[in-house]
Chains A and B, each alone.
Chain A
Amino acid sequence: MLTLIGVAVVVIGFVLRINPLLVVTVAGLATGIASGLGPLAVVAAFGKAFITSRYVAIVWLVLPVIGLLEHAGLKERARTVVSGFRAATTSRVLLIYFVVRQITAALGLTSLGGHAQMVRPLIAPMAEGAAENKYGELPQKVRLWIRANAAAVDNVALFFGEDIFIAIGSILLIKGFLDQNGIHVEPAQLAIWAIPTAISAMIIHCTRLLLMERRLRRDVAAERDSG
């Protein structure tokens, strides 16, 4: 049971809103000590795990070029382009991005999106621009809510699209794990059985995106009245 101390530290730390970096470090060190490692060995294990996880941070290499383009007006241009389309609404912008993102992910093209390279410079400004087009200057609360939705679309579409592609990490992990347990499955079969959930995800999230426009109208009106 002592092994679970790290989980407890994480839950308490997040609830108390302590700096997550500190929480995670303490949880890691506590877990190591609870499992019987000496203090220096725990620090070494943590250092090793951190160094082998560096690939997670490679996405930050997009920042110089994104920053450069933002400086030159990329976000403003994305808004202007959307305002050129009369039919563009926040709902529709996000709906189109969802469908494109999910289908391309299902074809293995998972890198055709992402928060740093697509959502921040392009999708979020387009979604905001479409709302501004319709309702004029937006209350700050509504603006932030639209951005959060843009990020969510990228996540949901990616998660429930990528598993249809047979060479993706999760399918290979499933196959490897079942092989070790003496059960042999075909990656293509695994991918096929991801389709019912993928369709459900598309129906559920797209329905919510369609309903978004109604809430947007209501929230803009409510914020105007109170402000």
Chain B
Amino acid sequence: MITLEHIYWLSGLMMAGVAIVNWRDRSNRRRFNNTAFWGIYAVTFLVGSYLPDVVNGFLVIGMVLVASIRGLGQSGRESSSREEREAGAGRWGNKLFIPALAIPIVTVFGTIVFRRVSIAGMPLVDVKQVTVISLAIATLVALAIGMAMLRPPASAPITEARRLLDAVGWAAVLPQMLAALGALFAVAGVGNVISGLAQRWIPLDHPAAVVTTYAVGMALFTMIMGNAFAAFPVMTAGIGLPLIVQKFGGDPTIMAAIGMLSGFCGTLMTPMAANFNIVPTALLELPDENAVIKVQIPTALVLLGANILLMNFLVFRR
């Protein structure tokens, strides 16, 4: 059975390759920092499941120190000039889209098909993780098509991955760090403290005030945690269920559905949701790391207002 562990090995091999290419590239003045950063990251993928937790903890701290104190660099060499790429675009034409579109198509196909495929009674892939495993397999299929079509040197995929990964830099690891922070927040009970504060300080004796507090609280708490999934249980147990449902007789289904989406409005406005808001600024080479958030804030605020109105209007009708 293909499990997440196998996909982690694949990721680890890619990161190790990126570390090696960096090590050999003399045009980057900080090449050894990059090597150390991606090399340690490779270790956490390859053997992280087998190491003691505390060793993993120190590996992560080591990565953070390399990235924040020593700093990562980028290669001084461009892998291709604009003229070369223009020529390539002319030569290959729309065929270039085939491998690119193979990624989403194979992923979707995989999520549907792999659920049903089993060999000798064992499912072919871990059904609980079918989406990420399908994505990983899709990237391999797309890479195979790309290699067969373009016939580049065998080292090209890894040197190109290095180019993009170094362009993203430490931001590539931030989403994972934030997920880890969220887990620690949950263990420490950060959520309960916050919902306690909200209950103590906000006047909650009018239905509209409660609905507004719940929706705004979902958005704000999501901004702090970076994730509406972390905010939802806390706000709903603290404000939603005791006040909106039990005290004022609101409909729990409508409250929960619109409450979660109010949290998503918060996701649009916070650097803590790094994979949606910070990683794309790195991928798109935007110098301002808040550029995507700035574009999203007007939509998020208007939509949060719409959610409050919708919940007020819908939740108390039966």
Contact = CB atoms under 8 A, between A and B. Distances in A.
Given A6-B184, A77-B94, A111-B104, A144 B287 contact: yes
Given A4-B190, A65-B157, A55 B4 contact: yes
B107 interface: yes
B181 A24 contact: yes
Interface in A34-85: 34-35, 40, 42-78, 80-81
A25 B194 contact: no
Interface in B133-183: 134-136, 139, 142-143, 146-147, 150, 152, 156-161, 163-165, 170-181, 183
Contacts of B280: 115, 119-120, 151, 154
B212 interface: no
A181 B241 contact: yes
B213 interface: no
Contacts of B86: 73, 76
A71 B236 CA distance: 49
- Chain B, interface size category, equals 35 or more
A21 B310 contact: no
B294 interface: yes
Interface size class, chain A? 35 or more
B194 A174 contact: no
B89 A151 contact: no
A61 B135 contact: yes
B270 to A, nearest CB: 9
Contacts of A65: 99-100, 103, 139, 142-143, 146, 157
Nearest to A150: B284
A110 B107 CA distance: 10
B307 A197 contact: yes
Interface string A184-212: 01100111011011001100110010000
A97 interface: no
Interface string A162-199: 01000001100110011001010110011101101100
B16 interface: no
Contacts of B233: 177
Interface string A6-38: 110011001000111110110110011011000
B131 interface: yes
A66 B137 CA distance: 15
Interface centre among B159, B260, B277, B310 (most CB of A within 10 A): B260
A148 B104 CA distance: 22
A119 B104 CA distance: 12
Interface string B44-75: 11001100111111111101100110000000
Nearest to B252: A183
B208 interface: no
A122 B100 contact: yes
A203 to B, nearest CB: 9
A40 B307 CA distance: 44
A198 to B, nearest CB: 8
State the 4 A-B residue pairs at the shortest beta-carbon distance, nearest first. Answer: A67-B160, A47-B57, A73-B89, A47-B56
Given A148-B286, A194-B258, 8 more contacts: A21-B170, A65-B157, A68-B156, A73-B96, A74-B97, A115-B276, A190-B257, A204-B303
